[in-house]
Amino acid sequence: MTDTVIELQGVTRVYGAGDTEVRALDGIDLVIRKGEFVAIMGPSGSGKSTALNVLGCLDSPTSGQYRFKGVEVGTLDRDQRALLRRHFLGFVFQGYNLLPRTSALMNVELPLIYKGMPRQDRLVAAAAALDKVGLAHRAHHDPSELSGGQQQRVAIARALAGNPEVILADEPTGNLDTKRSVEIMELLQGLNRDGMTIIMVTHEDDMAEYAGRLIWMVDGRIERDAPTRKAVADAG
């Protein structure tokens, strides 16, 4: 279908060999369409983080096919995969990954430098991304002057600044208290309502309910793939 962004067919990821072999992914089939908000959950060692790394082109499948917007990712070389990450994917991590002595604006601007965007255009795009996450007034503050929730908002702005097709979020509320977690999830939910495709790994049931679809993984396999309870209730 034309709205399919991501498609996995029979994807495996194997580490080691023989007695030390670990099948982190064991024959994954998955389709994610434009505009979905998907939460991936599962116990420790279930393969959810490995799945996110494969989807983000940070790791490569051992076997199977991964197609992004119809392009077979396995046929791309390292530089081409880097270009895919740079132009089509935005990443949000649990630990924010902000440069400590650099303003929020410059942190958001950084990935745009690698895209070769002219400086004035970078500043405009970075400022617009900070405004979108409600932090235009904190643009010139360093991370040490921001709360954890504000730092994660800067990280989301950085992911948005490059105008990605998909945001990949790895435990985006893992370092936050409940109030700040809700703020971040409401922000992500709002971005999704505006059309952004979001794939999020989380271990928190209540955070997963902000998504529309829940994928539950066990031992490298997808055990369950269904709408979240809230999505079902909203549809009813």
The number of folded domains in the chain is 1
DSSP 101: T
pTM tops 0.85: yes
- pLDDT digits 0-9 by tens, 157-172: 999 998 999 999 999 9
Cα–Cα distance for residue pair 164/154, rounded to 1 Å: 16
pLDDT tens track, the chain, 236 positions: 469 999 999 999 999 988 889 999 999 999 999 999 999 999 999 999 999 999 999 999 999 999 999 999 989 999 999 999 989 999 999 888 999 999 999 999 998 988 888 999 999 999 999 999 999 999 999 999 999 999 999 999 999 998 999 999 999 999 999 999 999 999 999 999 999 999 999 999 999 999 999 999 999 999 999 999 888 888 87
Tell me which residue range forms the domain holding 73: 4-235
Q: What SS3 state is found at 113?
A: helix
Provide the CATH number for the domain around residue 55. 3.40.50.300
Alpha helices in 38-177 (DSSP H): 48-55, 78-88, 104-114, 119-132, 148-161
User: Which structure tokens are listed for 199?
Assistant: 């794939």
What per-residue confidence (pLDDT) applies to 2? 62
What does the mean pLDDT of the chain come to? 93
- pLDDT digits 0-9 by tens, 156-213: 999 999 899 999 999 999 999 999 999 999 999 999 999 999 999 999 999 999 999 9
**Burial of residue 16, with CB atoms counted within 10 A of its CB: 0-12 exposed, 13-18 middle, 19 or more buried:** exposed
